[in-house]
Amino acid sequence: MSLPRDSHTPPYRLVADEIRKQIRSGRIKPGERVPSSRDLEATYEIANMTARSALRVLQNEGLIHSRPGRGNFVVDPLPAESSPKAGTQKAGGEQHMPTTEYLELSGRLDAIDARLDNLLGIFQQLAGVTEKPKK
């Protein structure tokens, strides 16, 4: 399965959105392991760094947690559904809105990740074109 190439959304966000949908729909249940970055790399035809970025987004949203040496797992119980950029949940249940600086930096990081993905694709194409046959 490949991601849409005409989307203005960075690939790691598209992958994170897809996994989030699977978690929220119950296809991946609380306590279950989510696909590894290598699995995502193969499934979505993306760079490993892109896959890891997608997992990091889900981890930052509190949907998954990492167990060193074992992988990433859906949290149990799932947090209440909310917009990832709208705000974060505080311990008392109140919403904490991100600052303007946070939103600006988040947008800049998204743009950098998108450029990095494009450069990696170009380098991979160049490596395939310029690669000399081994003797």
The domain that holds 28 is classified in CATH as 1.10.10.10
Q: Report if residue 26 sits inside a domain.
A: yes
Q: Report if residue 111 sits inside a domain.
A: yes
Q: Report if residue 4 sits inside a domain.
A: no
Q: Report if residue 135 sits inside a domain.
A: no
Looking at the chain, the whole-number percentage of residues with pLDDT higher than 90 is 45
Q: Report if residue 90 sits inside a domain.
A: no
pLDDT of res. 92: 46
Number of domains in the chain: 1
Q: Report if residue 89 sits inside a domain.
A: no
pLDDT of res. 98: 63
Distances (CA, A) of 71 to 37, 38, 68: 9, 11, 6
Q: pTM, whole model, 2 decimals?
A: 0.61
Low-confidence spans in the chain with pLDDT less than 70: 82-98, 129-135
Pairwise CA distance, residues 86 & 88, whole Å? 7
| Domain around 58 | 11-82+96-130
Backbone angles phi, psi at 50, to 5 degrees: -65, -45
43 CB neighbour count, 10 Å cutoff = 14
